[in-house]
Structure 1
Amino acid sequence: MSCGVPQGSVLGPLLWNIGYDWVLRGELPLGADLTCYADVTLVTARGSSHREAALVATAAVSQVVNRIRRLGLEVALNKSEAMVFHGPRRAPPPGSHIVVSGARIAVESTMKYLGLVLDSRWEFGPHFRRLAPKLMGAAGALSTLLPNLGGPSAACRRSYMGIVRSMALYGAPVWAMDMTASTLAILRKPQRAMAVRVVRGYRTISYEAACVLAGSPPWDLEAKVLASLYRWREEERARGSRPVQRQIALRREELRQVLVAEWRQRLLRPTAGLATVEAIQPVLDDWLGRRHGSLSFKVTQVLSGHGCFGEYLRRIDREPDARCHHRVHCGEDTAQHTLAECVAWEEQRRVLTNKVGGDLSLPALVRKMVGSAESWDVNQYYSYCLNFKSSVRSAIVIKPKLLSTSFVIKCYYCLLITIAITTILS
């Protein structure tokens, strides 16, 4: 072996560990420690001042580099990074650096280590700022595979969401207890995007409503579960005990129950998606634990209120007003109005009430849906939703939204573009 790790053999990692163990057993200056993972070596140094810590770090790194070279290996000093952890108003002086074997290693405010971007204040802001575009890019790419109509099943959609979740929660035991408001905002954007794809909903569905419909707890709470589980395992090992798989599973389930309880408390104060959250929050455990039923594009519209309803269309500037166009003085066209009040859908409503009872309020409907597989009768719910939604969609064509200001402006710009293209072609 002349350099690197032998490839293609199961002996490679073993031989590497045997050889590199000699480096780890070397004496280091007082205040210095050495940590190694695979071929990444981390030297830490402590000091009462920046100057003292820099001197200890320089001596320790020089010793480690020399021992590595005695193994016949070479260290890429040009790829090495240095960083100082410090408190408020104790930042290192500008231009700080350490010198190892003639190579100048600048002291920066961040350092990438094992996939995490560490920063001098241990706040992980730089880590999440670098991670955010990757999360949104992955969420956007996967969303193209998850159309509202057709496409993969609910289980497959949850698996795709799990990909982005794993990316977001990498290293959670390290940073979970140091999250800030900006960190939470970064985590919520991709979670909302994927939750909307899981439930086949409109992109305008709020974060709280999308997550509760998808049965996806907030990722910051899941990060705390991972951190708590990691600390518990470390504490058990420190006592000389090695938890078996069954013990770990039981502990994980206990922590998940704590997570659901904390999530339920959060849902008592939603910032958006109030009707949806209020309907599901009382039966959250049943909603998460059910083994039957999945949400379709149509059912999600009923539960979220985001769909072919006058109130929603007016809100997104697709209708001049929110009134129901099927009967005179019928009232505001909302999901609940269509579901339980509008006289235009009495026949379809009769089929539904024969199945679930006369209370068609959203909380009552959700309770029936999670009650049992029989109550969540896919054909009954879906046929009712499909019938009235298809009719609503047909009726929307003749609604006065075509005369709305935004529609006229869009037509005007389309006309200008068409004229410009015609002029160019001629």
Structure 2
Amino acid sequence: MAETIVTPKKYMKYLGIWIDDKTIFDEHIERTCKKADRQVTALTKILPNIRGPGSNKKVLYGVVPSVLLYAAPVWARNGFGRRVHLDNLEGVTEADKLRERETTVNEWQDRWERNHSTAQWTKRLIPHIKSWLKCDFKTLNYYVTQALTGHGSFRMYTLRIEKSRNDLCKYCGERDDPKHTDFECNRWHAQRTGLETYFGAQITPENLLETMVRNRRSWTEGVT
């Protein structure tokens, strides 16, 4: 060592974990999320956009949680992990967990309301995150996911991914997007009328999911 100057680093990688000088693991979390995001992007490219993934490709998605949760017991007690691993901390009461969850949901809602660039259709359907999260009987399938995201067999979307030649509805010739298919097209008028009769009100993008999450029967009626 003698006169050699050893300069400490802010971060170092040891056994696959990025350790920082304050042991809050922010660098590890950031790098891990970016790595997982790259894997999701790569997997998305090999999955079909219209009919959903086959069972063999669904197995590949197990890789992503493995990346995210690698060595979690080491870093979960600090930084971001504090919120997702409260059950593992000593001295944490149920009241503490509820307060922490309430804070997280409120922050999420605030970010959701301030977002004006992405997921605007989903935001329109789910304006209030808390009521969506409280619904413990909701189930998602291929068709519900399409309706929520706007990614699926809508001509507007299939034209964008070069799977169709135009964005016109094959039933009525109007521009086909999620709002048109679910709330306007005459092809599904009978189904909408039946649902409105059951709900006792006209359904709109703003009230459909808020109405469906009220009880299990309403959710079942909505998805069928």
Q: Considering the TM-score relative to the shorter chain, is it more than 0.5?
A: yes
Determine the structure 2 residue equivalent to 1:277: 123
Q: Is the alpha carbon distance of 1:113 and 1:336 closer, same or farther for their aligned partners in structure 2, counting shifts above 3 Å? A: same
**Does structure 1 residue 348 correspond to structure 2 residue 194?**
no
Determine the structure 2 residue equivalent to 1:166: 69
Question: Is the CA contact 2:12–2:19 (under 8 Å) kept in the aligned structure 1?
Answer: yes
Higher RCO structure (Cα 8 Å, ≥6 apart): 2
Q: Which has the larger radius of gyration?
A: 1
Range 318-327 or range 107-116, more displaced:
107-116
Determine the structure 1 residue equivalent to 2:58: none
Question: Is the CA contact 2:36–2:64 (under 8 Å) kept in the aligned structure 1?
Answer: no
Shift of 1:267: 0.5
Determine the structure 2 residue equivalent to 1:254: 99
TM-score, normalised via structure 2 length: 0.70
Question: Is the CA contact 2:32–2:67 (under 8 Å) kept in the aligned structure 1?
Answer: no
Out of 225, 241, 249, the position equivalent to 2:83 is 225
Letter in 2 for 1:299: V
Shift of 1:113: 5.5
Question: Is the CA contact 1:279–1:363 (under 8 Å) kept in the aligned structure 2?
Answer: yes
- Alpha-carbon RMSD across the aligned residues, in angstroms, is 4.2
Out of 155, 167, 172, the position equivalent to 1:322 is 167
Determine the structure 2 residue equivalent to 1:368: 211
Question: Is the CA contact 1:310–1:333 (under 8 Å) kept in the aligned structure 2?
Answer: yes
Q: Is the alpha carbon distance of 1:266 and 1:108 closer, same or farther for their aligned partners in structure 2, counting shifts above 3 Å? A: closer
Q: Residues of 2 paired with 1:299 and 1:225: CA distance?
A: 29
Determine the structure 1 residue equivalent to 2:140: 295
Question: Is the CA contact 2:39–2:64 (under 8 Å) kept in the aligned structure 1?
Answer: no
In structure 1, the residue corresponding to 2:18 is in which secondary structure?
strand
Shift of 1:317: 2.7
In structure 2, the residue corresponding to 1:360 is in which secondary structure?
coil
TM-score, normalised via structure 1 length: 0.40
Letter in 2 for 1:341: E
Letter in 1 for 2:157: Y
Question: Is the CA contact 1:173–1:226 (under 8 Å) kept in the aligned structure 2?
Answer: no
Q: Is the alpha carbon distance of 1:376 and 1:324 closer, same or farther for their aligned partners in structure 2, counting shifts above 3 Å? A: same
Question: Is the CA contact 2:76–2:82 (under 8 Å) kept in the aligned structure 1?
Answer: yes
Q: Is the alpha carbon distance of 1:128 and 1:368 closer, same or farther for their aligned partners in structure 2, counting shifts above 3 Å? A: closer
In structure 2, the residue corresponding to 1:251 is in which secondary structure?
helix
Q: Deviations over 1:44-74 (max 9, x none)?
A: xxxxxxxxxx99xxxxxxxxxxxxxxxxxxx
Out of 333, 336, 346, the position equivalent to 2:179 is 336
Out of 4, 13, 18, the position equivalent to 1:117 is 18
Where do 5+ consecutive residues of structure 1 fail to align? 1-53, 56-92, 98-105, 152-158, 177-219, 234-241, 384-426
In structure 2, the residue corresponding to 1:268 is in which secondary structure?
helix
Q: Residues of 2 paired with 1:114 and 1:248: CA distance?
A: 33
Letter in 2 for 1:117: W
Matches within 5 A, 1:16-165: 96-97=5-6, 110-112=11-13, 116-119=17-20, 127-128=28-29, 131=32, 135=36, 148=52, 165=68
Q: Residues of 2 paired with 1:291 and 1:129: CA distance?
A: 30
**Does structure 1 residue 263 correspond to structure 2 residue 108?**
yes
Q: Deviations over 1:286-340 (max 9, x none)?
A: 211222120110011112211111111222233343222322xx43111111112
Question: Is the CA contact 1:303–1:362 (under 8 Å) kept in the aligned structure 2?
Answer: no
Shift of 1:114: 7.7
In structure 2, the residue corresponding to 1:292 is in which secondary structure?
coil
Q: Residues of 2 paired with 1:129 and 1:286: CA distance?
A: 29
In structure 2, the residue corresponding to 1:355 is in which secondary structure?
helix
Q: Is the alpha carbon distance of 1:349 and 1:161 closer, same or farther for their aligned partners in structure 2, counting shifts above 3 Å? A: farther
Question: Is the CA contact 1:96–1:107 (under 8 Å) kept in the aligned structure 2?
Answer: no
